[in-house]
Amino acid sequence: MLPRTAHTPGKGTDVKNRRVFLKLSGEALAGEKHFGFCEGIVRDVAKQVKRALGCAYPDTGAPDPVSVEAAQAPCDLASGTGGGFPGPGVARVELGVVIGGGNFWRGRTGQEIDRCKADQIGMLATVMNAVYVSEIFRGEGLDTEIFTPFPCGSITEVFSKDGANRAFSGGKVVFFAGGTGHPFFSTDTTIVLRALEMEAESILLAKSIDGVYDKDPKTDPTAKRYGTISMAEVIEKRLGVVDLTAAVMCMENGMPMAVFDLNEPEGIARALAGDINGTIVTA
């Protein structure tokens, strides 16, 4: 898909699972309401993820998804049969998810209060999003687990690399909520940090826009979309794909990224299979 080494799941096997991180825009999940959730959008995301995780990949690093007909067939999650679910000795996609909190709150929203407190409210907004989206995923037959950098009672698990690896090994979709646990860091930085910590192959950004443009396409009809661009160019041209901290982390650590439209039909399923209809940002 993107040029980064795939994660090796464990000892005693030569099969390399593809570990990918997906960033979902909170605003995009709200749909036309621009606040809260649009259940239809979230459920469609869950269905696409379920189909994508049912794709088998040979141990070559190149995606080879099953047919659409097979992927949409009824799935037996317990046995791994039906729906194209990979069997023993076949690589699968391990998916980590980070969700923004902009459908409820952004740190900059509360300019009248202390910045640290405003950012903490934003962290809690991402936890609410993860709990909701996780439950929709479960309703579609996916197993999930949520990690946060701070205790949330019995709602989430406190993040550790070992704990997250166990969740991935168990076939779960792993949500990383609560940001980094510190103010002044965005969910862009969160997903890059967690993707690097968890040795992910690449980051997929599902946004309300279909790629990276040289100008703002909402205000400038002459804006042109990049097919491929380097992170160094993104930083130099201040294109705002992700915030500067996240962009520099990607560039310095060789983490590639792809940007595509969340609302494109089957966009997430295709992106997870390596078919990017948007912009690929090379490290």
Separation CA 250–CA 246 (nearest Å): 6
**DSSP characters for 223-253?**
--B-SEEEHHHHHHTT--SS-HHHHHHHHHH
CA dihedral (98, 43, 80, 148) positive or negative: positive
Separation CA 283–CA 281 (nearest Å): 7
Range in 2-11, 163-172, 224-233, 253-262 with the lowest mean pLDDT: 2-11
Instruction: Quote the domain boundaries for residue 32.
Output: 18-282
Task: Give percent helix, percent strand, percent coil of the chain, each to the nearest 5.
Answer: 35, 20, 45
Is the model's pLDDT at 190 over the cut of 80? yes
Q: What pTM was computed for the model?
A: 0.82
Residue 110's pLDDT band (cuts 50, 70, 90): low
In a domain, 272, yes or no: yes
**For residue range 50-99, what is the model confidence (pLDDT) as tens digits?**
998 886 444 444 344 434 344 344 333 233 333 333 444 456 789 999 99
Tokens of 67: 């047919």
Mean pLDDT of the chain: 83
Separation CA 165–CA 94 (nearest Å): 10
Find where tokens 């997929």 sit. 204
Question: Is the CB of residue 266 less than 8 Å from the CB of residue 48?
Answer: yes
In a domain, 255, yes or no: yes
In a domain, 213, yes or no: yes
Q: φ, ψ for residue 247 (rounded to 5)?
A: -65, -45
Find where tokens 């990690």 sit. 147
Task: Supply the pLDDT for residue 5.
Answer: 46
Q: Would you tell me the crossing angle of helices 244-253 and 187-197 to the nearest 10 degrees?
A: 20
Nearest-10 Cα torsion for 178, 182, 185, 186: 10
**For residue range 205-231, what is the model confidence (pLDDT) as tens digits?**
998 888 999 998 889 999 999 999 999
Range in 81-95, 129-143, 164-178 with the lowest mean pLDDT: 81-95
Looking at the structure of the chain, the number of domains it has is 1
The Cβ of residue 148 has, within 10 Å, a number of other Cβ atoms equal to 22
Residue 187's pLDDT band (cuts 50, 70, 90): very high
Residue 257's pLDDT band (cuts 50, 70, 90): very high
Task: Supply the pLDDT for residue 33.
Answer: 83
Is the model's pLDDT at 22 over the cut of 60? yes
How many angstroms separate the Cα of 242 from the Cα of each of 27, 78, 151, 188, 238? Answer: 15, 38, 27, 6, 10
In a domain, 46, yes or no: yes
Closest to 195 measured CA to CA, from 254, 267, 282, 143: 254
In a domain, 1, yes or no: no
Please compute, for residue 153, the number of CA atoms within 13 A of its CA located in the half-sphere on the CB side: 3
Separation CA 181–CA 158 (nearest Å): 11
Pairing relationship of beta strands 93-99 and 18-24 according to DSSP bridges: parallel
In a domain, 30, yes or no: yes
Question: Is the CB of residue 234 less than 8 Å from the CB of residue 247?
Answer: yes
Task: Supply the pLDDT for residue 208.
Answer: 82
Is the model's pLDDT at 113 over the cut of 70? yes
In a domain, 24, yes or no: yes
CATH (domain of 206): 3.40.1160.10
In a domain, 6, yes or no: no
Q: What is the mean pLDDT of residues 139-151?
A: 97
Task: Supply the pLDDT for residue 182.
Answer: 96
Separation CA 226–CA 280 (nearest Å): 8
